Amino acid sequence: MSPLQNLFDPQVLAEVGFAGTLILTFGGAVIAIFPRNILYSVLGLALSLTGVAGVFLYLGSPFIALMEILIYVGGICIPIVFAIMLSKPLHLTLPKRHLPKLGLALAAALTVFVILNSIIFKTPWQRAAVTNDDWSITSLGIYLLTRYELVFEVISLVLLAAIMGAIIIAEYSRRSQS
């Protein structure tokens, strides 16, 4: 097989796509964390969430990947951008962090990473004995309206209460200021 044909082998293409997805995810996360201008951080968050949607695609669920883009990139990043742009100096850059504090934060994060990794590699993961391969959206909808009906309704209630609370908090702070 010539190298060019080798490049279009589905397996190789899948590997390259997966590497691209990971670069998108972690590159976006790094952009989200480090710049001191907050607008860059939001754009990095959007990039990273798009990468996570790609990871979901590789995990076999296009529906969840689409929901990720719809809810996170569309529904969470946009309000953050609105909040930044509507209140005047939110986009101002903050003073630099002290180096010792940065080092402590890095040490804490690395501790978390090491502990998580040791758990991941020491646990003998076992596949469930009986598995069914039903990935269809139809059965997902049936589950949401039968077995997980109560959770579904409670989540709707939580969302409603959260949005009403957000409106009341924003309104109250404006009234108490003037």
Span 47-76, contacts to another protein by CB under 8 A: 48-49, 52, 55-56, 58-61, 63-64, 67-68, 71-72, 75-76
Cβ 71 to another protein, closest distance in Å?
Answer: 5
Residue 5 or 134: the one with the smaller Cβ distance to another protein is 134
131-137-138 Cα angle (round to 5): 95
Cβ 61 to another protein, closest distance in Å?
Answer: 6
Beta strands in 31-143 (DSSP E): none
Residue 2 or 175: the one with the smaller Cβ distance to another protein is 175
- Would you give the distance in Å from CA 123 to the centre of its chain? 25
Cβ 164 to another protein, closest distance in Å?
Answer: 10
Site string for another protein, 80-109 (x = CB under 8 A): x--xx-xx-xx---x--x---xx-xxx-xx
SS3 content of the chain, % helix, strand, coil (to 5): 80, 0, 20
Residue 7 or 166: the one with the smaller Cβ distance to another protein is 166
120 belongs to the binding site for another protein (CB under 8 A)? yes
- Tell me which residues in 136-155 interact with another protein (CB under 8 A): 139-140, 143-144, 148, 151, 155
Q: 154 — phi, psi (to 5°)?
A: -65, -40
Question: For residues 35 and 59, is the Cβ–Cβ distance under 8 A?
Answer: no
Strand (E) or helix (H) holding 30: helix 10-33
Question: For residues 77 and 92, is the Cβ–Cβ distance under 8 A?
Answer: no
